[in-house]
Amino acid sequence: MRAIGLRFFFSSMFLCAALTAAGALAQTPVASPAAPQPESAPAPGTPSDVPQGGPLIAEPPGTDTLPAVPPTAWEKLDLLLDDVKVTDLVVIFFALLIALAIMRVAAGVGGLRKAATRQAEDTRKVVEASEKAADAARRSAEAAELAISTLHETAEHQLRAYVTVRQFIQAPLKDERGFQGWLLQVAWQNSGATPTKEFRYWAMLREFDRAIPEDFEFTPAGLKDFAGGELGSNSSVSSPPLLVSTQLIARLQDGSRKALLLGQADYQDVLGTDAPRATRFCVELMLMGDASGANPTPFSFSYYPKHNTIT
């Protein structure tokens, strides 16, 4: 804008000077060359070598044909100043005022442009800072949410109830008729830091001829010996005793029968989560010694490849 104002100023000055010069030249008279005068014929009887009707002293020849000397620059300036009018001065002054106004406007526009550029840059920096702050806040919120979730899961794992099989209890059964077999019990234990809710469990013996099928049904239909109650933290409970008869012992000894001891406990946590928990076990009953009653622990329990889970 400042360059445009300067151009307009000098153009106005040049235009005013050109108009003024044109007016001055138009009013200045131009000298025209003198027309040649016809020579008068000599009078009769007059000697031809005496000029007639002319000056007695002849001027140097060729003075009438000399070229006009052009005016000097100062003479032109004097002629131009002589021809300047008041209106021309007014026009020049008005052009100067317009040029000055345009220069001031251009300077103001330049200042506004710089201010706008600085403001835009400041705004851009503020927006970038806000975006960075928002991104940092988002990452902090995500980290906090992840930390809370991790703490919740950690607390849930540390404080929840864990029901497992503490041991398998075996004892001989004798009465007035003598030795009748062995009694087996499953001791359930809650090793967690909180008690269970809606705790139920069962245990039973399953017999198979010579081999255990891989696709046997874990939970038999019509199961009725399902006990209920609650199991506190670091406490245990034993299932009702299961009888291993002398007939089954004899078949285990000759290999004609296989036996599984299996069971399941179902419960929930008291931490507010309603996710069901279940613990299953399945062990094969192995006869390792004398089962007549003299050996206090004739059986061993080998975990079966399937149906041993904790949720």
Residues 6+ apart with CB under 8 A from 84: 20, 24
**Are 188 and 238 within 8 A, CB to CB?**
yes
> Pick the residue with more confidence: 33 or 84?
84
CATH number belonging to the domain at 163-310, selected among 1.10.405, 2.60.40, 1.10.3470, 3.40.50: 2.60.40
Residue 123, sorted as left (phi over 0), alpha (psi -120 to 50) or beta, turns out to be alpha
Kindly report, residue by residue over 51-82, the tens digit of the pLDDT. Answer: 555 555 555 555 555 566 777 877 776 776 67
- Which of 4-18, 104-118, 218-232 has the largest mean confidence? 104-118
Check whether 168 has a pLDDT greater than 80: yes
Q: What are phi and psi of 301, to 5 degrees?
A: -125, 115
Kindly report, residue by residue over 90-137, the tens digit of the pLDDT. Answer: 788 888 889 888 988 888 888 888 889 989 999 999 999 999 999 999
The CA distance from 185 to 241, in Å, is 5
- Taking alpha carbons only, the member of 45, 53, 283 closest to residue 184 is 283
The CA distance from 133 to 138, in Å, is 8
Domain borders along the chain are 1-25+73-159, 163-310
213: exposed, middle or buried (Cβ count in 10 Å: 0-12, 13-18, 19+):
exposed
Task: State residue 18's pLDDT score.
Answer: 57
Task: State residue 222's pLDDT score.
Answer: 64
The CA distance from 262 to 268, in Å, is 21
The CA distance from 133 to 116, in Å, is 25
Tokens matching residue 237: 């409970």
Tokens matching residue 17: 């000077």
pTM passes above 0.85: no
Check whether 277 has a pLDDT greater than 60: yes
